Structure 1
Amino acid sequence: MKKILWGATMLSGALAPQWAAAQAGADQAKDGGLTEIIVTAQRREESLQKAAIAVTAVTGSDLVRSGITETSNLGKLVPALVVQPTGGTTSFFLRGVGTNSQNSFSENAIAFNFNGVYVGRPTAPAGVFYDLERVEVVKGPQGTLYGRNATGGAINVLPKKPVLGRFGVEGIAEYGNYDSKKGFLAVNLPLGDTVALRVAGQVVDRDGYISDGYDDDKGEAARASLLIKPSDLWSITLVGDYYHQGGKGAGAVLLPSRAFAVPAVEDRVSISDSRAIAAINGYAATLFAPPFCAGGFIPSGCIENAGKDGYLNNHFYGLSAQVEGDMGFGTLTVIPAWRRSEAKFRTYLPGFRGEIEDNAEQMSLEARLTSANDQRLRYVLGAFFFNEQQDTLNYFRQGRLSTTRFTPRLKTQSLAAFGQLTFDIADGFRLIAGGRYTREDKSQLTSSVSGGLPGPVDPPLGAPITGDLTFTKFTWKAGVEVDAGPASLLYANVATGFKSGGFYVASPPNNSFAPETLTAYTVGAKNRFFGNKLQLNFEAFYWDYKDQQVTFVGGVRTGNGLFAQGSLTTNAGKSRIYGAEAEARFAPTRDDLFNLNVQYLNGKYNSLQTANFSPTGAPVTTGCTITGTRLANPGVNGARFYDIDCSGKPTVNSPKWAINVGYQHTFALGGDMGLVAGVRSNIESSRFMNANYRPEEKQGSFMMSDAFLTLEGPQDRWSITAFINNIEDKEVLARAGTRPILDFPVGTLRPPRTYGVRVGFNL
């Protein structure tokens, strides 16, 4: 594969100069060419086409047009990105790299940054998708310029900033099916010549997509940004934000099973629905298991299934400042920040009850010195500090079958120094080198208990356990860039990334896991042709992913020395991932725009071996090979370990093909008005949703299409849009898993067909 990567570089180098001869190299959008997008993915402002990394930039207007107000829908605009709702948290996968866990020990392998601030908790990437300048999705390990846990990439959400000397008001009101109501308003206020204030807010209220009201969306958000610019050389931007997330949260449906008949997936029947419970009880009777009952209360003789009382009551707060100063020889940027998340939710998404209270407070400070763009030696040098404290309660209950409850008190501190250099060897030929040294310290004070039949439903917590971990790592990047023409860039690099180890709930000393690492080999080309009307970008990559942190249902040792069922994270995986991504944009006239993004992804686990736990001793349902079994608690009960080998299986959440294609046309109307019509489709091949590899948990190939029609007023002062999303009304899985013990599959679905009307104004 590496030979293929270098061959692609040579081919691009041979062709690019010929193509670039017709390229003017300027922004000619007014004459029908493509506009330029400025990004900060490499911690300096530069054209997207001159950034020698794989980054997809989605503008704020694209997000509005797509109706995206929550994180889970971002993936339909970025083929490489898979977003999974997991109860009250969000998991990200980029090109097959991600984290599939849902308790307070979880950390994403894709860094999420809001307004330049790293957000530590998986519960917290919510309520920020409004009044945005753009979203940047950076693909591949970001072990040099970014902070924690950017093994597979980073997502940068950048809000609009205040504008000096200009009063402006903009807003959007939207109504759609499922009684969907959305409102957004932003005001820009000039406060003299050197100060400006921008205040924005959003309210979302939508009914659930499945029966019993789950998969709803309810929340209120507000943000205030104050820009102070005392001179042309210095500026300070203060940002405060708040979001309340309510509603019932993500839900689940029964997936088709070979063991028993379930309601049709297209009917979107919640697992708390009486129809689903009846199907489960019929299956339980064949196993001579007690019947299932809905709700939080468990009558005598029942085993709890899923209730209708799930809820989200999450609050998120943030304060940050960005100080920028022109030092003459470079720009100094200092970003102190504080964030707090108060997550409290009850979910039945995994097929059983989970209750989590996770109060987390983080403080961070990043300082960077960035050289000017016109120097022969350009640099970004910086330091990073991060401190987080968590106080949590995690309660997972499979009724009288199994209960796991633990109360982690976690502390994390991360310190890093980093730098990246770009040196012009000759005109149009550059070398890149960068490195980052990171030290992370983690500690825990955790009380836990696991139990089940024949014990009490809610056994008391055991004595608290403590633990301290320290990880250090140097990650680096080296590469070369070549300007093959006025608007053609070739690049090749090798980059590394890591995600530190941590704890999971178990008794010491075997309750921790080591860091995971990724080395990426990349070649790419970015080009603009034919008077800035055609854009062709290409990247090929090979990733070597070692010591993968894999979470599965295993055996945890309880206070009495016996093993019980629990969630384990171990360094069980090793994989190789390679592929290529091609992007084309074509604007033949000022009224037409074509988009095409194609990703080919081939991921395989070279090694993936786990020891799964069965509290009853019944065989574990899996699509992998069971290589052996043994008693977990000899002479006490029938619980067993099953050794499972999934080596050779494809990496999870890795569709071999992912395609995003779209077209829009503007019809000029009288009175300086326009009518914009657009359509886009997201096409993906099949993939497994988790590392259990049951055929029921595999999402087949699908196509989902959206369309819109927008009437734009003079000078874009107002607009009216009619839209329809998921025209095919396709049932597509966002998440799939197996309820342990009785082993029936459950899944969470992406939104069905939705439609509505959106009215906007900009004064």
Structure 2
Amino acid sequence: MFVRKTLLHRSIAAVLAASSAMAAAQGNAGADSPPAPDGGNAETTALDLVTVTATKRSTPLQKTPVAITAISAQALDKERVITVQDITSLVPGFAATTQGDHGVITLTLRGIGNDSAKTEYADPEVALFVDGIYTPRAEGAASLLLDLESVEVLRGPQGTLWGRNSTVGAVNMQTAKPVIGDNSGTVQFGLGSYARLGGRGAFNLPISDSWAMRVAFAHEQHEGYVDYQNAGALLPSLESQRTAYLASGGDPAAFQAINPNLFVTGGEKYNAQNQTAVRISSLLQPSDKFSWNLSYEYFRDTGTPSMNLMQKPRAGQDFWSSLVDTAPSLDREVSSLRSRMDWELSDYLSLSYIAGISRFEGSADFDQDGGVQVPTSFATGATYQQDRTNYSVYRNHSHELNLTSNGENTIDWILGLYYAAEKNKIRFDIPIFNGTQQGTVAWQGSFIQPKQTVDSKAIFGQATWNVSDAFRLTGGLRYTDDAKENIGGRGWGWQGYGNPDIPQVPIAPGTIPSNANGFGFGIGGINDGQYDHGQLTWLARADYDVAAGFLVYASVSTGYKSGGLQDGGVPYQHEELTNFEIGTKSSFLDGQVVWNNAFYYEDFKDFQLAAPITFVDGSRGLGFSNVKGSTKVWGFESELNARLSDVDRLQFVFSAIPHKKLGTLLYAGSNDYQGLPPCPAESGIGNCLDVSGNELAHAPDAAFTLVYEHDFRFASGARLTPRISTHYETESWLSAFNLGDGDKQSSYTRTDLSARYLNPDGTWYVDLYVDNAEDKKVRTSAGRTAVGSGFEYLSQYLPPRTVGMNFGFWF
């Protein structure tokens, strides 16, 4: 087990003195006064006044020639957003998938994503930022979205201003900043299905006329959705067990009955939540020429992983249940220090220094086999597989220096320098046994990476030539150099077959594998290696105001994701995306109707696909493959926001991805999909499938979300606002294998309902809600297990129907 440390506490003093930076032009956009939970006077506010920071300046959304979705604090509150996964239906072409063994969320945008971006090796295609500071580890996506001012989702490659790993887009979460001179706060409590308890709040504290602080907290918990099946009712009789064991060639003298106590029947269930976060923020503004935003954030997650469920549950068993032989466990904590300093050097020039440092520690335990097979004896008929993260520790820091032109100029420009570094380590054990834990070893291994480093350096610049009041040309360049090194990494595999002196027991967390310690492990792979690559990314764009409130733009941009080292120290290549896009931004009726559209064509080179695989020698590891040729995607996106009247509001989000074809990949393997054909020896892996030309996963042909709300206003001044949010999408594949209905999510509609009562003087409110009113079972991932002569498919799912209420007030 990993040793818990007080994250970053020893670093705070140094960072306060030397590494500062965080939010002025970027961080304070729209933050003069945090909005009331009901949206304040939203019905009298023009929709086209929203500001965003996509160009690293505060600009009006409708004047920003980028495909961007801006979700306000009010919308986040009304949608009851807790994690990134909760906002996907509000963004065209956005999807999120869950990965049980690491308890993480991975993101897909415009059909491009990486379901296996879940270890210290893998990077995402959709980059995550908090206040403009890159969050490199996928685990950060699951953190509570605490006290946010807004979430901006930039669609399309953002390689010039936002850097590496924003291959197909970026998500920037803007936290609520302190307000000097303001003394206010908000608190919310909630309860609901599955014993849900929630609470959050934020308090703005004026310290002086140049200093303010803000304290925010959040806690969410609910019981697990997945019940435990009764093993005693499913296990065969003792005589049947003996017959099955002897038929397999087992030694009669070694026979033993299956111990039903090996199966979990109580305690914490899978798919439970127990997350807590707190943030302390400071704004120091001693003059109108200088400001310093600094925040410290702590997040703790002691819930449980999401379970792989049988798509077709066995007879007599509830869908939300599983035969479990590994109790769920999850313990993660993240500490982050973020800083931004802004100087106005002159009327024409500003300097910003943005820095961040964070540390992640975690452990997890997960039942990978999903309880699909019922053992026929203690050593036959099923597979016991435990995926256990003994420890993972990710440390990173980043620094960015921006020099920016001020005011309105013939040429507006920004120049920047960037440096980021990571130092990571992990141990991941996988014991796999025939039958039950009492059975014989099928295979087991321990992946120990004591040190992996990442260094990324970049220089970038972007300039906009204001040719006229209506016409603008923009160009940008960024050069990035990435270096990665694995030091001392080893993949230990079981080599004790046929040796009666080696105990056939699952590897324990305290067991240190070696060639001579009596536990039967030998080195299956040496992960030492180095990777270094430099990449140029660029942007060319033209935008034109056709008329007041009607902007047209066209752009060509590139994005880049770093390559790296996979298990065995073998390098895999970087990937790059070229995106061609035409978009429009329109506002009508004095800004009460906003309609934005984008057509895009993506040409993707060396797309990285990652999966756990078995090599030809029987050892296992996480393998990366680069799809050769071009992976081509084209589609259309549309967003409509309308204030139909003083009391009616409508939002419509639409995405179409009619073409999303992989390039050439002859040998795609995955241990999550049993039964793939044997692979040619030259492939290096045991089983694989040719996925050339297959469709991308998580990319439905069409999807839309419709949100409508209406205010009922009473003579007393009170207000009742019912709200409906419904999402529909066509069928989509869940992997690049395209293996049929089990590897697919069929078309579906999923609806959330809510109603908010606001008291007459506007100081408190009550929400009632029903999420997933249809109780639709929506798959986010898939895999399959061989059972007899066929296969059983497993998936992870969005939550079932839940109901609840929230009570909130502000002062």
> What is the TM-score with the length of structure 1 in the denominator?
0.85
Residue in 2 that maps onto 1:70: 83
Residue in 1 that maps onto 2:783: 737
**Residues 449 and 757 (structure 1), Cα distance of their counterparts in 2 relative to 1, 3 Å cut:** same
Secondary structure of the corresponding residue to residue 607 of structure 1: coil
- 1:233-312 alignment, distance < 5 Å: 233-256=289-312, 262=314, 267-272=319-324, 294=325, 307=326, 309-312=327-330
Q: 1:494 is aligned with what amino acid?
A: V
**Aligned-residue CA RMSD (Å):** 2.4
Q: Does 1:495 align with 2:510?
A: no
Secondary structure of the corresponding residue to residue 230 of structure 1: strand
**Residues 34 and 643 (structure 1), Cα distance of their counterparts in 2 relative to 1, 3 Å cut:** closer
**Residues 452 and 104 (structure 1), Cα distance of their counterparts in 2 relative to 1, 3 Å cut:** farther
**Residues 200 and 472 (structure 1), Cα distance of their counterparts in 2 relative to 1, 3 Å cut:** same
Once the two structures are overlaid, the 10-residue window that deviates more, 322-331 or 735-744, is: 735-744
Residue in 1 that maps onto 2:493: 450
Q: 1:571 is aligned with what amino acid?
A: N
Q: Does 1:116 align with 2:132?
A: yes
Residue in 2 that maps onto 1:460: 521
Q: Deviations over 1:72-123 (max 9, x none)?
A: 3221322421111212222110011111213331221110111221011112
Q: Does 1:364 align with 2:404?
A: no
Q: CA deviation at 1:738?
A: 3.0
Secondary structure of the corresponding residue to residue 41 of structure 1: coil
Instruction: Identify which of 87, 105, 110 aligns with 1:95.
Output: 110
Secondary structure of the corresponding residue to residue 547 of structure 1: strand
Residue in 2 that maps onto 1:746: 794
Residue in 1 that maps onto 2:424: 390
**Residues 613 and 180 (structure 1), Cα distance of their counterparts in 2 relative to 1, 3 Å cut:** closer
1:406–1:461 Cα contact (<8 Å) kept: no
Q: CA deviation at 1:751?
A: 0.8
Instruction: Identify which of 320, 339, 344 aligns with 2:358.
Output: 339
Q: 1:706 is aligned with what amino acid?
A: D
Residue in 1 that maps onto 2:649: 593
Q: Does 1:438 align with 2:495?
A: no
1:364–1:386 Cα contact (<8 Å) kept: yes
Residue in 2 that maps onto 1:417: 459
CA–CA separation in structure 2 for the residues paired with 1:723 and 1:217: 19
CA–CA separation in structure 2 for the residues paired with 1:370 and 1:732: 46
Q: 2:637 is aligned with what amino acid?
A: E
Residue in 2 that maps onto 1:314: 332
CA–CA separation in structure 2 for the residues paired with 1:264 and 1:741: 18
1:677–1:708 Cα contact (<8 Å) kept: yes
CA–CA separation in structure 1 for the residues paired with 2:179 and 2:275: 27
CA–CA separation in structure 2 for the residues paired with 1:38 and 1:641: 52
Residue in 2 that maps onto 1:621: 675
Residue in 1 that maps onto 2:620: 565
CA–CA separation in structure 1 for the residues paired with 2:367 and 2:671: 21
2:429–2:447 Cα contact (<8 Å) kept: yes
Once the two structures are overlaid, the 10-residue window that deviates more, 197-206 or 399-408, is: 399-408
1:401–1:452 Cα contact (<8 Å) kept: no
Residue in 2 that maps onto 1:649: 694
Q: 1:395 is aligned with what amino acid?
A: D
Q: 2:123 is aligned with what amino acid?
A: E
CA–CA separation in structure 2 for the residues paired with 1:57 and 1:42: 13
Q: 2:297 is aligned with what amino acid?
A: D
**Residues 611 and 30 (structure 1), Cα distance of their counterparts in 2 relative to 1, 3 Å cut:** closer
Residue in 1 that maps onto 2:270: 214
1:314–1:343 Cα contact (<8 Å) kept: yes
Q: Does 1:37 align with 2:50?
A: yes
Instruction: Identify which of 185, 189, 196 aligns with 2:205.
Output: 189
Q: CA deviation at 1:640?
A: 7.7
Secondary structure of the corresponding residue to residue 78 of structure 2: helix
Residue in 2 that maps onto 1:693: 738
Q: CA deviation at 1:545?
A: 0.8
Q: CA deviation at 1:35?
A: 5.5
2:615–2:685 Cα contact (<8 Å) kept: no
Instruction: Identify which of 42, 53, 57 aligns with 2:66.
Output: 53
Secondary structure of the corresponding residue to residue 62 of structure 1: helix
Q: 1:253 is aligned with what amino acid?
A: L
Q: CA deviation at 1:694?
A: 2.2
Residue in 1 that maps onto 2:759: 713
**Residues 58 and 715 (structure 1), Cα distance of their counterparts in 2 relative to 1, 3 Å cut:** farther
CA–CA separation in structure 2 for the residues paired with 1:631 and 1:472: 33
Residue in 2 that maps onto 1:180: 196
Instruction: Identify which of 631, 636, 644 aligns with 1:575.
Output: 631
**Residues 271 and 656 (structure 1), Cα distance of their counterparts in 2 relative to 1, 3 Å cut:** farther
CA–CA separation in structure 1 for the residues paired with 2:471 and 2:111: 32
Q: CA deviation at 1:220?
A: 1.2
Q: 1:251 is aligned with what amino acid?
A: M
Q: CA deviation at 1:348?
A: 2.5
Q: Deviations over 1:182-237 (max 9, x none)?
A: 00121110001000010011111111122142111101110000100000111001
CA–CA separation in structure 2 for the residues paired with 1:347 and 1:599: 35
Q: CA deviation at 1:337?
A: 1.2
Q: CA deviation at 1:641?
A: 3.4
Q: Does 1:149 align with 2:169?
A: no
Instruction: Identify which of 221, 232, 243 aligns with 1:205.
Output: 221
**Residues 749 and 453 (structure 1), Cα distance of their counterparts in 2 relative to 1, 3 Å cut:** farther
CA–CA separation in structure 2 for the residues paired with 1:178 and 1:205: 9
**Residues 465 and 252 (structure 1), Cα distance of their counterparts in 2 relative to 1, 3 Å cut:** closer
Q: 1:437 is aligned with what amino acid?
A: Y
Secondary structure of the corresponding residue to residue 615 of structure 2: strand
1:265–1:731 Cα contact (<8 Å) kept: no
**Residues 701 and 374 (structure 1), Cα distance of their counterparts in 2 relative to 1, 3 Å cut:** same
Q: Does 1:82 align with 2:95?
A: yes
CA–CA separation in structure 2 for the residues paired with 1:390 and 1:157: 24
Structure 2 residues without counterparts, runs of 5 or longer? 1-40, 229-268, 371-384, 434-440, 499-503, 508-519
1:405–1:461 Cα contact (<8 Å) kept: no
Q: Does 1:608 align with 2:654?
A: no
Secondary structure of the corresponding residue to residue 415 of structure 1: strand
Q: Deviations over 1:620-679 (max 9, x none)?
A: 535xxx6x744699xxxxx98345211221111111111011111111122332111111
1:255–1:265 Cα contact (<8 Å) kept: no
**Residues 364 and 461 (structure 1), Cα distance of their counterparts in 2 relative to 1, 3 Å cut:** farther
CA–CA separation in structure 2 for the residues paired with 1:461 and 1:490: 62
2:120–2:425 Cα contact (<8 Å) kept: no
CA–CA separation in structure 2 for the residues paired with 1:76 and 1:736: 20
**Residues 166 and 714 (structure 1), Cα distance of their counterparts in 2 relative to 1, 3 Å cut:** farther
2:483–2:533 Cα contact (<8 Å) kept: yes
Q: CA deviation at 1:264?
A: 8.4
Instruction: Identify which of 734, 757, 760 aligns with 2:805.
Output: 757
Once the two structures are overlaid, the 10-residue window that deviates more, 714-723 or 752-761, is: 714-723
**Residues 30 and 548 (structure 1), Cα distance of their counterparts in 2 relative to 1, 3 Å cut:** closer
Q: CA deviation at 1:740?
A: 8.0
2:605–2:627 Cα contact (<8 Å) kept: no
Q: CA deviation at 1:36?
A: 2.1
Residue in 1 that maps onto 2:534: 472
Q: Does 1:404 align with 2:450?
A: no
Q: Percent identity?
A: 26
